[in-house]
Structures are given as C-alpha cells and as structure tokens.
C-alpha cells in the first residue's frame, strides 16, 4: 500500500513528506525530482515568491546510493524565505505575533472557513497550510511515483488547453509526446503557439486590472496496463480516485475524463469506443472517448483527464470582506501572489495522477522489491496477451 503525509507551512522552515510503500531497488536521485520542481515554478503569470525559492529536494531517509530501501522515504524542501519569517513563524512559546497578522479573509480562499473551524483569530494559521506552496512537496512525492511508473513504460504528461477563455487548438493526429514537447517550450505550457500568445496577452490584461485568471489543463498517462482499479467497490474505482486526486489540488473546481461533459450531449453511438482484436496486440479500440477508463478500470488506452482551475483568490484589486475581529466591512487581505498558475498546476496534476497510478500498480502487482514487482507485471502482461 502506497501512502504519504505532508507537513510544513508556506513560510515555515521547510516542507516535508513521508512516503511509505515504495519497493526496494527503485533507482532514484534528487535530480529525478528537482526537474519537476523547477517546472512547477515556471510559467507566465507567476509572482515574486518564485524568484525567492529555488526548490530542491533532500532525501532524509529511505534512499541509499541511488536506490530505494523499501523503508519510508522522507523528503524535505527548504523554504529560503524562512529567514524573513523565522520570528513571526517561530514554534517556541512567546508573545503573540504583531506582524503579518491577518484578520480580513479573502473570498474564495480557505481563510474564513478555516478560521472558524479551527478557532484561529489570526488567519495566517490557516493560509500557511492551505497555501498552494504545499504543492511543491506533492510534486516531489509525484516525482518518485513517476520514476516507478517509468520502470513499466508509463509516462505522465500535461499541457494547458485553456486560460481565461482562450482555448488551444490541438490537432487530432499529433502525439501526446509531441504536444508535451511543444508545451514545454511555451511560457504558458500550451502546445498551440498562437493560443499561447493570446493567453499571455490575457494574463497581462488581468495583471493590469489587479485581477487573476484560471483555466484548464490536461493530464495524459501513456501505456497503462489493462486492469488497474476495480468496479467491485465504489472506493476502488480508479476513475474516482484520479478525480479526487486532481480535485485535492488547491483551486481546482472540476474534472473531466476522456470526452467528459461532451459525452452527455451526444448519442451513445458517438461516444462509446469500438472494440477490435488483433493477434499481435490483443484487444484494441478504434478511439479513446472513454479516456482509458471503463467501469473504474483501465482498458489499456491512454488515460486522459482535464481539470478546471478557478482564478487565484488573492486579488491586487481586492474584493469586499469583513474583519473577523471588528466585523467592520473591509477589503480582503493582499498576500504576495500570482496572476495565473495554470501552467504550474499542470505539473502538480502530473504528480497527483502519477501517485494514484503508482498506488494502483502496487495494489495490482504488489512486490516488496522491484524484481518481484517486475515478475508479477510480466506474468500478468502475458496473461492479457493470451486472453
């Protein structure tokens, strides 16, 4: 069973995670993860925090000489901005903080509901953990999951398909790998060069107005095996688990699988993927409207997921709010923030999807070490080919 917990505050000393269940013998280095951490910090529309932090992961346990040990893996990402906050965020007892105290909640953020739920009069106690800064350590966890999936020929890609109403035009005959490479060369991680330019202009417009923008990104998992997930119980359906993982990212508001909501507008004959059989390949499909999942189980086709992100809650032209202490009408708090993080959200989406796919792989094929997992996987693949 694969599982993890995260800890740490946005302006605390560091972000941490403990990941348990990774088999021994998986090749793993910090460089495998640091690449994605750097990708998460890029993208047109990011704010000043990205110029302060240069995220790097450190393994505190579970890895030796470039190989996992089968023990829990402890990961750490240091916060460079801690030096400017160590008095305000100190763990030791002392007088209440007088600087950076927040009493004016931001509409759309966890500020007010978190303060009421946990009885905090300083909303900073909420926003420090609810912050999207937490996604950095989840990208690190996802980097390990990606490394595991790669051992079985699976890869997780993402790209931006819409920002602020500007939609990308994507050709049907372009491969996922080609889309990904084009996206990586774009400031907004969009594979359509013309749309990328318009997206940048839209973000500039939002910045000028003191506003923010959301959008939609797509995550694709290539070469998943048949049979991950299950229809046998509601919480074992991989469709639901992947949707939950994506919805657990801060600011996400909706997930589509395959054709998604468009399937609700069409006849069944236009939606369901025909089944064919070829001796060399086994069962194949003529299309992938299902997005690689049927009955909560992978069907061997690429998994295709799209996620809608709302605009960020911190506006430099703030919305109306109420001070939780005085109850007086005020403008919402302005924390240092971004204008648009859809390009970065795609990288986080890759990470959470990779984690759920790795968990499903371990549930299906087990193994305390990579050799054992490989034997189980190869045996199952032979069974599928001969079915």
CA atoms within 13 A on the CB side of 258: 20
Summary count for the chain: helices (H), strands (E):
10, 18
pLDDT score of 248 more than 80: yes
Q: Does the pLDDT value for residue 54 go beyond 90?
A: no
**What are the b/e assignments for 203-228, b being 16+ CB within 10 Å?**
beebbeeebbbbbbbbbbbbebbbbb
- Residue 59 pLDDT grade (very low, low, confident, very high; cuts 50, 70, 90): very high
Which DSSP string do the residues of 210-241 spell out, in sequence order? T----EEEEEEEESPPEEEE-SSSGGG-HHHH
- Give me the phi and psi of 330, to 5 degrees please: -145, 175
Helix (H, G, I), strand (E, B) or coil at 13: coil
pLDDT(69) > 60? yes
Rg, C-alpha atoms of the chain: 22
Q: What is the pLDDT of residue 348?
A: 98
pLDDT computed for residue 333 by the predictor? 86
Q: What are the backbone angles phi and psi of residue 253, rounded to the nearest 5°?
A: -125, -10
Look up residue 170 and give its DSSP letter: -
Q: What pLDDT score does 281 carry?
A: 86
Domain boundaries, the chain: 3-386
> What is the C-alpha to C-alpha distance for residues 20 and 255, in angstroms, rounded to an integer?
27
Share of the chain above pLDDT 90, in %: 91
Whether the CB-CB separation of 355 and 130 falls below 8 Å is answered with: no
Question: Residue 16: pLDDT above 60?
Answer: yes
- Helices 342-365 & 238-247, crossing angle to 10 degrees? 150
Q: What is the 8-class DSSP label of residue 27?
A: B
User: How far apart, in Å, are the Cα atoms of 281 and each of 153, 154, 228, 300, 381?
Assistant: 16, 17, 19, 11, 11
Render pLDDT for 77-97 as a digit per residue (tens, 0 to 9).
999 999 999 999 999 999 988
Give pLDDT, residue 173: 82
Q: Between the CA of residue 238 and those of 119, 143, 257, 294, 297, what are the distances in Å?
A: 36, 20, 11, 9, 6
pLDDT at 50 over 90: no
Nearest 5°: CA angle at 115, between 240 and 108?
55
Question: In the predicted model, what is the mean pLDDT of residues 55-71?
Answer: 98
Separation CA 13–CA 89 (nearest Å)? 9
Dig out the tokens for 385 from the structure: 């080919």
CATH of domain 3-386: 3.60.150.10
Residue 274 contacts by C-beta under 8 Å, 6 or more apart in sequence?
A: 285, 286, 287
Check residue 305 and give its pLDDT: 98
Burial class (CB in 10 A: 0-12, 13-18, 19+), 10: buried
How confident is the model over 317-374, as pLDDT tens digits?
999 999 999 999 999 988 877 999 999 999 999 999 999 999 999 999 999 999 999 9
Report the Cα 313 to chain-centroid distance in Å: 18
Measured distance CA(200)–CA(98) in Å, rounded: 39
What does pLDDT average to over the chain? 95
């Amino acid at each position: 069973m694969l599982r993890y917990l995260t800890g740490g505050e946005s302006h605390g000393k560091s972000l941490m995670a403990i990941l348990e269940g990774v088999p021994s013998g998986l090749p793993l280095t910090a460089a495998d993860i640091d690449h994605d951490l750097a990708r998460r910090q890029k993208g047109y529309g990011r704010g000043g925090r990205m110029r302060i932090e240069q995220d790097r992961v450190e393994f505190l346990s579970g890895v030796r000489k470039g190989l996992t040990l089968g023990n829990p893996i402890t990961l750490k990402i240091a916060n460079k901005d801690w030096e400017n906050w160590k008095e305000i965020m100190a763990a030791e007892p002392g007088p209440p903080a007088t600087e950076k105290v927040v009493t004016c909640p931001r509409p759309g953020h966890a500020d007010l509901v978190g303060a009421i739920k946990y009885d905090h009069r300083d909303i900073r106690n909420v926003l420090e953990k609810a912050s999207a800064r937490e996604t950095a350590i989840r990208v690190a966890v996802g980097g390990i999951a990606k490394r595991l999936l790669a051992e079985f020929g699976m890869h997780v890609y993402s790209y931006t398909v819409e920002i602020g109403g500007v939609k990308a035009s994507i050709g049907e005959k372009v491969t996922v790998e080609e889309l990904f490479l084009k996206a990586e060369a774009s400031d907004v991680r969009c594979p359509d060069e013309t749309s990328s330019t318009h997206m940048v202009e839209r973000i500039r417009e939002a910045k000028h107005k003191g506003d923010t923008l959301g959008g939609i990104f797509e995550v694709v998992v290539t070469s998943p095996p048949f049979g991950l997930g299950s229809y046998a119980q509601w919480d074992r359906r991989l469709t639901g688990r992947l949707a939950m993982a994506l919805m657990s990212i801060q600011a996400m508001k909706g997930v589509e699988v395959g054709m998604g909501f468009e399937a609700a507008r069409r006849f069944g004959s236009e939606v369901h993927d025909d089944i064919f059989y070829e001796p060399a390949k086994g069962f194949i499909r003529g299309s992938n409207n299902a997005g690689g999942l049927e009955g909560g189980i992978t069907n061997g086709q690429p998994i295709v997921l799209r996620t809608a992100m709302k605009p960020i809650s911190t506006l430099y032209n703030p919305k109306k709010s109420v001070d939780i202490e005085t109850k007086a009408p005020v403008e919402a708090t302005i924390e240092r923030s971004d204008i648009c993080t859809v390009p970065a959200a795609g990288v986080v989406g890759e990470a959470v999807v990779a984690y759920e796919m790795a968990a499903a792989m371990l549930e299906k094929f087990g193994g305390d070490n990579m050799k054992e997992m490989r034997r189980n996987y190869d045996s199952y693949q032979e069974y599928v080919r001969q079915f």
